[in-house]
Amino acid sequence: MSKRTLRGKVAIAGVGETTYYRHGKSPVSEFKLALQAILAACEDAGIDPRRIDGFASYSNDRNEPSRLAAALGLPALRFSNMNWGGGGGGGSAAMGNAAAAVACGMANCVVVFRALAQGQFQRFGAAPPGGVAAGEAALNAPYGVMSPAQRYAMRAMRFLHENKIEPSAQRAIALASYHHAQSNPRAVMHGRPLTEEAYDQSRWIVEPWRLFDCCQENDGAAALIVVPAEEARDFKHKPAYILGSAQGSEYRNGARSHNAPLYATSSFTTVAPQLYDMAGVKPKDVDVVQSYENFTGGVLMSLVEHGFFAAEEANDFLTPANLMAPTGKLPLNTSGGNLAECYMHGLELQIEAVRQIRGASTAQVPKADVSMVISGPMVTPVSSMIFGTEATL
Amino acid sequence: MSYLPTYLPGGLPIPVPENDGLDKPYWDATRRGELVVQRCKKCGTFQWGPEWICHKCLSFDVDWHKVSGKGRIYSWERPWHPVHPALKEHGPYIVVLVELPDAGNVRMLGNLLGDPKQDVRIGADVQAVFEPHDDAKPPFTLVQWKLA
């Protein structure tokens, strides 16, 4: 029996995004942002939007496929899919779900999208006043553990402790994102460079994380179009093929009240090997990485769990020079990522990974044939994926 | 039961049992000044947080077991940025994740009592302390931790 795989079966035909705004600053509604990003992706692909026949998203996106299909006048909706789990853990999973639907013929042109307007809806990093807490929240909120930073800081604290990792390792991740944002006019932090001194002097959000270790919150929308590989050459841009996608988490990662047996983890210890196996590549083959920054400590653990260096090598490996395009050993978050381009729940990372394959990034890595995205560390499920050029097939 | 001032100010979310009753024995026990975790009657495995089934042997016969309250700091964090209106102007506080060596090293969350700016050592021994909130509606008791 031939190996069951997504490798080389689908490609990204188009990518699109709205203007990225600071949180609460979108001049239009969240649903209109979603529509704008989808139409931008169709324009980028050079297709009639009526060709879309499916939608995939994650993190309980509020913009339902049926409403989108009606608004866009689609002839038929053939696939609608939501990946469970909060945060950005489902970003690569939604791409994988869309890819699976296309690869097996359930649909032919699937949009993966995410839209956020936090003025219209609530922020992630703020808690509603008063009220009661039940279940997992009852074991956290009364102790002042409510925001994502507060929920995940203890995972990173344990990892930093076990592996004697210095603050400079987390700082390098923040500096790389801000550095790359300075060449990206789409980035919310374009024109606002970050120095080591400014990082070191920034206030604590929750130890071990300072202000610049934490993602922004933003308004906007992003979309990508997934099509069968046979059609991949019919569009305006060089195709980015999906080599692999994997999602999930290790043994009892979701045990309540912080009882995951492997606690100091970004949740990728079983997912990453599955991804590499499907993609048929090794860490040394990866030319450029976009790794979801909810918090820099999560990126650090993600890179370890994807095999780019061992935990005890983190202090030496994680320097700004190693993480910067075009010459770094492992160019990281080359659009500015969640920290400095836009917190579009990580879907902007998928777009940047495709732009690297096209040779169209604002911080282009030479000969980027293998381009990885890591989505949503420390939550569960998490997901990651790898794009490749035609040369990698 | 000795009365302590509360570690964090009032106005934070009030913990209530889940509407399926899963964790009600835990919250009832804290009101009596007892710390309980789940233990499987069939295979003896300790379990926390609560679940309807033993993750080890898949028995539904999971019981509640009183533990000593001895713990060891497994990880910690110090929030500074207030995300809840009740914490505005409050300043930093310490959250500890504590493992219970007498109960299969299950972990529990709480605040570390004392100076919120103190150095925290992973591995330090701690003891459970009960913090009643008798005026809350409904009243509840939190389990907190102090250095042993």
Judged by CB atoms closer than 8 Å, whether chains meet at A207 and B77 is answered as yes
Query: Given pLDDT bands bounded at 50, 70 and 90, which one contains residue B4?
Result: low
A273, pLDDT greater than 90: yes
A263, pLDDT greater than 50: yes
DSSP string over A55-79: EEEETT-SS-HHHHHHHTT-S---E
pTM of the entire predicted model: 0.97
B1, pLDDT greater than 80: no
- For the residues B92-117, what does the mean pLDDT come to? 98
In the three-class reduction of DSSP (H, G, I as helix; E, B as strand; rest coil), residue A32 is classed as helix
Nearest CA to CA, how far is B47 from chain A (Å)? 9
Can you point out the beta strands (E) in chain B? 14-16, 36-40, 46-47, 62-66, 70-79, 95-100, 106-111, 125-133, 140-147
- Of A77 and A2, the structure prediction assigns the larger pLDDT to A77
Q: Is A343 known to be catalytic? A: yes
Q: Is the peptide bond before A49 cis (omega within 30 degrees of 0)?
A: no
A129, pLDDT greater than 80: no
- pLDDT tens track for A3-16: 899 999 999 999 99
Query: Given pLDDT bands bounded at 50, 70 and 90, which one contains residue B134?
Result: very high
Where are the domains positioned within chain B?
24-147
A257 at B interface, C-beta within 8 A = yes
Whole-number pLDDT of residue A130: 67
What CA–CA distance (Å, rounded) separates B66 from B61? 16
Nearest to B14 among A132, A145, A257 (CB): A132
Would you state the structure tokens that stand for residue A172, as one six-digit string? Answer: 């390098």
How do A110-116 and A132-134 pair as beta strands? Answer: unpaired
A120, pLDDT greater than 90: no
Whole-number pLDDT of residue A126: 77
- Any idea which residue has 């913009």 for tokens? A63
Which amino acid would we find at residue A325?
A: A
Whole-number pLDDT of residue A1: 65
Name the residue in chain B with its Cα closest to that of A141: B13
Q: Which residues of B touch A212 (CB under 8 A)?
A: none
A367 at B interface, C-beta within 8 A = no
- pLDDT tens track for B9-61: 999 999 999 999 999 999 999 999 999 999 999 999 999 999 999 999 999 99
Whole-number pLDDT of residue A86: 83
- pLDDT tens track for A174-213: 999 999 999 999 999 999 999 999 999 999 999 999 999 9
Give 3-state DSSP helix, strand, coil % of chain B, rounded to 5: 10, 35, 55
- Of A2 and A38, the structure prediction assigns the larger pLDDT to A38
Which CATH code, of 3.30.230.10, 3.40.47.10, 3.30.930.10, 1.10.569.10, is assigned to A10-121+214-392? 3.40.47.10
